[in-house]
Amino acid sequence: MELKTLQGASGMPMFPEFEHIRRFWMPQHDRYGVKVVAGDYYVTKQDELITTVLGSCVTVCIRDAKAGVGGINHFLLPDASCDILSASNRYGVFAMEQLINSIIKHGGRRENFEVKLVGGGNMMAGVTDIGKINIEFVKNFLRTEGYVITAEDLGGSQPRKIIYNVTSGKLLVNKMRSHHQDRYAEKELELQRSKMATAIHDDVELFE
């Protein structure tokens, strides 16, 4: 499929299904970036940075280094049910299939996938640990589908900001300070309600 040139400051090509996502300049990294919000995903072949902020949510970063294509998703299961036929499971499977199918559509091959996981923090003490449930779901999904996890930064109690580069495969993780926790806990509780109504490896680098 041909790339569609984005009309904007970068002039870099972008796959048509992602033209609603706007790039922004990240001077500290000397690259353009895109931000992925909860419930969305992004796939690219460009030397750009994909960013998102996570609490209980999980982001799966996948790339095919040989084809030079990859991306991330950002999802939160809408409730605590992990039964194979539950609405939560179907939601999580959809989030994974969106990312995987898009990478394949744009030239990636399953056998070449490099998979990294981030997120799944416990943001709300005293209530169901949704982060743990998200982690269990995504690990079970990847194991069932035969994918090997090459790096992960999961669990804990801090929000994370990540920056992922498909070209290099480099994943930066910033463990955000505790004063951010209440704000992200409130946001994720609101997100959970809306959904219900409708071992770090060397190539994962912590940053501040």
- Establish if 151 belongs to a structural domain: yes
- Establish if 27 belongs to a structural domain: no
User: How confident is the model at residue 25, as a pLDDT?
Assistant: 96
- Establish if 167 belongs to a structural domain: yes
The pairing of strands 49-54 and 160-165 is antiparallel
Q: Range of 196's domain?
A: 50-206
- Single pTM value for the model: 0.82
Q: Which residues are catalytic?
A: 57
For residue 3, give both structure tokens. 């790339």
Percent of the chain with pLDDT over 70: 74
User: How confident is the model at residue 10, as a pLDDT?
Assistant: 72
pLDDT in tens, 35-81: 999 899 999 999 999 999 999 999 999 999 999 999 999 998 866 66
In 81-180, alpha helices (H): 87-105, 130-145
CATH of residue 125's domain is 3.30.1330.200
